[in-house]
Amino acid sequence: MYGKGIRVPKAIVLGGYGLIGLACMRALSRAGFEVSGVGRSIRSANAVGLSVEWIIRDIPTITIKEWLAILDGVDVIVNASGALQDGARDDLEAIHVTAMEHLVEAAAALPVRIVQISAAGVSESASTAFFRTKAQGDMILSSRAKNWIILRPTLVLSQEAYGGTALLRAASALPLIQPHVLPNAQIQTVYVEDVAAAVVESAQGQISSGTIADITEQNAHSFPDLLAKVRKWQGWAAPVACPTIPAVFVSAAGKIADLFGYLGWRSPLRTTALAALADGIRGDPNTWESAGGSSCRSLDDTLALLPATRQERLFSRAYIALPLAIGMLANFWLLSGLITLIDPARAMSVLTERSVSSWVIAPTVLGGAVADILLGIGILWRPWTRHAALGMLALSSIYLIGSLIAAPDLWADPLGPMVKVLPGMTLAALVWLLMEER
């Protein structure tokens, strides 16, 4: 409790509903800060369940003048925003470099501390644009700002699953097998609450301005060993086989994931994530502890704090099943529409044989084929996926009702076209239920 007349310190967290940003907001709030969050999705902001002020903006588009208004009376701003790779919704240069330039210039004359959540291993000569642009943002902050701290966590583990941690969970949950991949990669982890604690220590002034520190556990793990530990933590049986995945297949998976990135999907299999894993995710915990920061938990201690519940196991399997379901639906609806357009007479004959009025047949068949194709394409475009799944349910319902009126005999065949619509509707409903807007 703060007494009468005692000013409550204010903190703003950029990317406040993200994996790290949300943990920072909660930790700062518990530490007595008045916390606000910044992000571009009101839906995601409302979904986290925090009673705080949200500033709904696309961070790279915030001008210097607007930053001055946002930073008025603010003591600490935590930059937990970022993107892994360029795509339909992300521009690395804009979010990591341009946004930092605007923020630093606006804060130049203000008594505000900037805490930057960067990443272990950043370098202007790094192998990926993610690390290079992060390094550029760090350089802008360290060379131009008055009061700043840069924190560089390794692979962040949390009860929440997102990005690389979701990939770990899904790969560990594969039935019967555990893929042997990236055997030479050395990975260090950090518990998200340890990152949040480092942010609080920085925000409270316990860490000197100008500190650049890695936030990480002491020991490193090979990627196969990390997978094995996560699998054991989740409670799955030991794998029957551990097939080695050739590097060429891993590279091909990354390139395919990159293509889907331009459809709005932020897959943890994209080449940036795979390159980061292959290079290893390492940090020096002494850089933080020597600055006066608290030591971070080990991987074993982190997993002990995160009990693997039934919900955890269901999520891991659903994470595998969801892209398979979307791919199957896309193929089914696209092929359905294309086959009909290739041979429309065959489809029309089904209605002609049942004495359906001729003026109804062509619009129904051709319009349905076009709608099938559009839905098959729509479900692949990330912003439209849930809407396309609902469209599939609606159009399937129309097909079912229409068949009961015009061709009820088709239902007599247990392997016929109408009975087979029902599993497709179930799959579409599954996609609609599992898709979450961020």
Q: 408 pLDDT exceeds 80? A: no
- Cα(265)–Cα(357) distance, integer angstroms: 44
Looking at the fold, whether 300 and 340 belong to one and the same domain comes out as no
Q: Indicate which CATH number applies to the domain containing 245.
A: 3.40.50.720
Confidence of residue 414 (pLDDT cuts 50, 70, 90): low
Query: Within this chain, do residues 354 and 299 fall inside the same structural domain, yes or no?
Result: no
What pLDDT was estimated at residue 415?
A: 62
Domain boundary pick from 308, 340, 368: 308
| H helix and E strand count, the chain | 18, 11
**137 belongs to a structural domain:** yes
| Residues 268 and 366 occupy one common structural domain | no
Q: Is the pLDDT of residue 86 over 90?
A: no
My answer on whether 285 and 358 are in the same domain is no
Mean pLDDT of the chain: 89
Alpha carbons 203 and 387: distance in angstroms, whole number: 42
pTM, rounded to two decimals = 0.86
Please indicate, yes or no, whether residues 89 and 194 belong to a single structural domain of this protein: yes
299 with 337, same domain: the answer is: no
In a domain, 63, yes or no: yes
Domain interval for residue 395: 323-434
- Is the model's pLDDT at 426 over the cut of 50? yes
End position of a domain, from candidates 281, 308, 335: 308
Please check whether residues 56 and 122 belong to one and the same domain: yes
Which tens digit of pLDDT belongs to each residue from 261-270? 888 887 878 8
Integer Cα distance of 288 and 358 in angstroms: 77
Domain boundary among 250, 278, 308: 308
Number of folded domains in the chain?
Answer: 2
Domain membership of residue 317 (yes or no) is no
For residues 101 and 169, membership in a common domain is answered with yes
The answer on 378 and 280 residing in a single domain is no
Asked if residue 279 is part of any domain, the answer here is yes
* pLDDT at site 355: 67
Q: Pick from 115, 77, 79, 72: which is nearest to 98 by CA?
A: 79
**Per the structure block, which two tokens stand in for 239?**
């794998």
| Within a domain: 145 | yes
Q: Are residues 22 and 136 in the same domain?
A: yes
Domain membership of residue 234 (yes or no) is yes
Tokens of 212: 């650049």
User: Do 329 and 216 lie in a common domain?
Assistant: no
Judge whether 2 lies within some domain: no
pLDDT, residue 226, reads 94
- What does the pLDDT look like over 100-113, one tens digit per residue? 999 999 999 899 99
Residue 315 in domain: no
Regarding whether 328 and 303 lie in a shared domain, the answer is no
Partners of 35 in the β-ladder: 11
